[in-house]
């Protein structure tokens, strides 16, 4: 099993190119099931989850070609299997996103209930409720969601999601594009990745209004066609690198970034004392002092993202002052706290709130990653810890960060992968 060895090496300086967003790429790949044409995706990050999605689509009969750098061609014209098996779906929650497009186009789907990382419960009840409102008959048997659309077609409906759900919004949005009639989706997620999917669907011939708002209206069409689309930059990867510089000091410019999708994160970094400048597709951060502690409360977009909580916690543990971090999205998202405390952090947890008192130095240790963003926080801590830090079980990290050791190494970090 691979590990990362990290030794603090002072300030970071230079440029990093931001990859495409995993959380946009996966639903976009699933959208390839909606058409018999070819969907060409650019700026796709070569991650473990992307490769799992490729295998899943190929297992359903789709032709998936890639240059193994950043481009995919997905042709759904050869799909001959509406079954998504447990062995692939169990490793990645986003696999449930094949349910909506498969059901909408073929009138039936059988998808294993999803797995993924251990940060808490992420039920799919809103996905199923919405599809039932659109006329689907759904049963759950032996761990599989079995869905059938009577007469082979979903019907337009008004769907009000009980909670804001990114995956639920994406699944129902894709399903609605081929439903008969008009579908109104209310209480939609408005994350940039949802917007990216909607804009791609419009390129494929979907009729969607209200993109980027909490209510989207979809006028169903008989068929969609292929298109070319570039995946939106990964705001979480970008935020992770910005936190690294805020902790180590230095000056780094992120290229191929999307600062307009990151306002809550950039505001908090400025509050911590970083100098932030931005352009249309770049962000420069400069930090010449110890960061100031900042309070964080996660919430749905456009508020502070839960996927940046662990990284800001890593920054806060070496910041000047006391901070409070409140997690409102996932109940198990403080599993990095014991590992950070083993490195010398001063963090106490009470329910969904962590209280942090900044320390001047951390000490290197062997630590174990428990989920994707927890992994990133431990890497960041290693960048400023005295001695050697070993981050174990980095397969979590590889699900969401493309070549993180090369990108950080390129701006001066002393970090290397140890092959297991």
The CATH number linked to 158 is 3.65.10.10
Q: Is 371 annotated as a binding residue?
A: no
Q: Do the Cβ atoms of 225 and 205 come closer than 8 Å? A: yes
Known binding residue 290? Answer is no
Burial class (CB in 10 A: 0-12, 13-18, 19+), 24: buried
Amino acid 21: pLDDT: 97
- Domain endpoint, select from 203, 230, 257: 230
Q: Is 235 annotated as a binding-site member?
A: no
- Whether residues 218 and 95 share a domain: the answer is yes
Q: Are residues 127 and 217 in the same domain?
A: yes
Domain identity same for 11 and 70 = no
Task: Answer yes or no: do 304 and 171 share one domain.
Answer: no
Are residues 220 and 241 both part of a single domain?
no
- H/E stretch holding 26: helix 22-30
Structure tokens at 21: 């967003």
Residue 338, annotated as binding a ligand: no
Q: Are 327 and 296 contained in the same domain?
A: yes
30 noted as active-site residue: no
Residue % of the chain over a pLDDT of 90: 88
Domain residue limits at 342: 3-19+233-418
CB-CB contact of 242 with 269 (8 Å): yes
Burial of 280 (0-12, 13-18, 19+ CB in 10 A): exposed
Residue 288 among known ligand-binding residues: no
Structurally, the chain folds into a number of domains equal to 2
- What pLDDT score does 315 carry? 98
Summarised one tens digit per residue, pLDDT across range 48-79 is 899 999 999 999 999 999 998 999 999 999 99
Last residue of a domain, one of 207, 230, 253: 230
Q: How many CB atoms lie within 10 A of CB 75?
A: 20
The reply to whether 29 and 14 lie within a common domain is no
Same domain, 88 and 178: yes
Same structural domain, 46 and 182: yes
Q: Is 222 annotated as a binding residue?
A: no
255 annotated as belonging to a binding site for a ligand: no
Q: Was 341 annotated as part of a binding site?
A: no
How far apart CA 404 and CA 236 sit, in angstroms, is 13
Given this model, what pLDDT does residue 275 score?
98
Distances (CA, A) of 377 to 74, 106, 289, 351: 34, 42, 20, 20
Give the tokens for residue 191. Answer: 């994350």
Check residue 88 and give its pLDDT. Answer: 81
Residue 115: the pLDDT is 55
Let me know whether 193 and 269 are in one domain.
no
Q: Which of 209, 230, 251 is the last residue of a domain?
A: 230
Q: Which of 30, 117, 188, 243 is catalytic?
A: 117
Query: Burial, 360: exposed, middle or buried (Cβ in 10 Å; 0-12, 13-18, 19+)?
Result: exposed
Q: Which long-range contacts (CB under 8 A, 24 or more apart) does 51-54 make?
A: 52/88, 52/91, 52/92, 52/95, 53/25, 53/26, 53/29, 53/92, 53/94, 53/95, 54/29
Is residue 196 annotated as involved in ligand binding? no
Say how many Å lie between the first and final Cα of the chain, rounded.
4
For the stretch 236-294, pLDDT in tens is: 999 999 999 999 999 999 999 999 999 999 999 999 999 999 999 999 999 999 999 99
Report DSSP state, residue 155: B
Low-confidence residues of the chain: pLDDT under 70: 115-122
Token readout for 51 is: 């490769």
Secondary element (H or E) of residue 73 = strand 72-75
What was the pLDDT predicted at 122?
52
Q: Are residues 12 and 67 in the same domain?
A: no
Task: Please tell me the distance from the alpha carbon of residue 71 to that of residue 44, in angstroms, as a whole number.
Answer: 6
Residues 86 and 226 reside in one and the same domain = yes
Name the residue among 381, 313, 308, 305 with its Cα closest to residue 343: 381
Q: 185 with 173: CB under 8 angstroms?
A: yes
């Amino acid at each position: 099993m691979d590990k990362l060895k990290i030794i603090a090496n002072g300030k970071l300086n230079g440029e990093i190119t931001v990859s495409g967003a995993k959380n946009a790429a996966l639903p976009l790949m699933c959208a390839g099931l909606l058409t018999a044409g070819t969907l060409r995706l650019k700026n796709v990050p070569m991650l473990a989850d992307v490769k799992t999605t490729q295998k899943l689509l190929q297992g359903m009969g789709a032709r998936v070609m890639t240059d193994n750098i950043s481009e995919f061609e997905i042709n759904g014209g050869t799909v001959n299997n509406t079954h998504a098996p447990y062995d692939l779906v169990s490793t990645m929650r986003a696999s449930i996103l094949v349910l909506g497009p498969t059901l909408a186009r073929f009138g039936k789907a059988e998808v294993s209930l999803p797995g993924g990382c251990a940060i808490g419960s992420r039920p799919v009840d809103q996905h199923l409720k919405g599809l039932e409102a659109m006329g689907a008959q759904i049963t759950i048997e032996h761990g599989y969601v079995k869905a059938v659309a009577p007469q082979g077609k979903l019907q337009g409906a008004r769907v009000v999601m009980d909670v804001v759900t990114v995956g639920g919004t994406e699944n129902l949005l894709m399903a609605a594009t081929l439903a008969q009639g008009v579908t109104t989706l209310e209480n939609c997620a408005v994350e940039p990745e949802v917007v990216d999917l909607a804009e791609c669907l419009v390129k494929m011939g979907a009729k969607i209004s209200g993109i980027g708002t909490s209510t989207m209206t979809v006028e169903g069409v008989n068929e969609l066609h292929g298109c070319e689309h570039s995946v939106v930059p990964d705001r979480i990867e970008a935020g992770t690198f910005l936190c690294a510089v805020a902790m180590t000091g230095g000056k780094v410019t992120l290229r191929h970034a999307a600062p307009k999708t990151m306002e809550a994160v950039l505001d908090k970094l400025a509050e911590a004392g970083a100098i932030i400048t931005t352009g249309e597709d770049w962000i420069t951060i400069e930090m010449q002092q110890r960061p100031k502690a900042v309070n964080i409360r996660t919430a749905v977009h456009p508020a502070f993202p839960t996927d940046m909580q662990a990284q800001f916690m890593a920054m806060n543990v070496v910041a000047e002052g006391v901070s409070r971090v409140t997690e409102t999205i996932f109940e198990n998202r403080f599993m990095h706290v014991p590992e950070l405390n083993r490195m010398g952090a001063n963090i106490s947890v009470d329910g969904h709130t962590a209280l942090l008192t900044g320390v001047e130095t951390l000490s290197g240790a062997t630590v174990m990653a428990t989920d994707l963003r927890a992994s990133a926080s431990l890497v960041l801590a290693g960048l400023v810890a005295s001695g050697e830090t070993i981050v174990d079980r980095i397969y979590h990290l590889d699900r969401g960060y493309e070549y993180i050791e090369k990108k950080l190494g390129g701006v001066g970090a002393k970090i290397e992968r140890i092959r297991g």
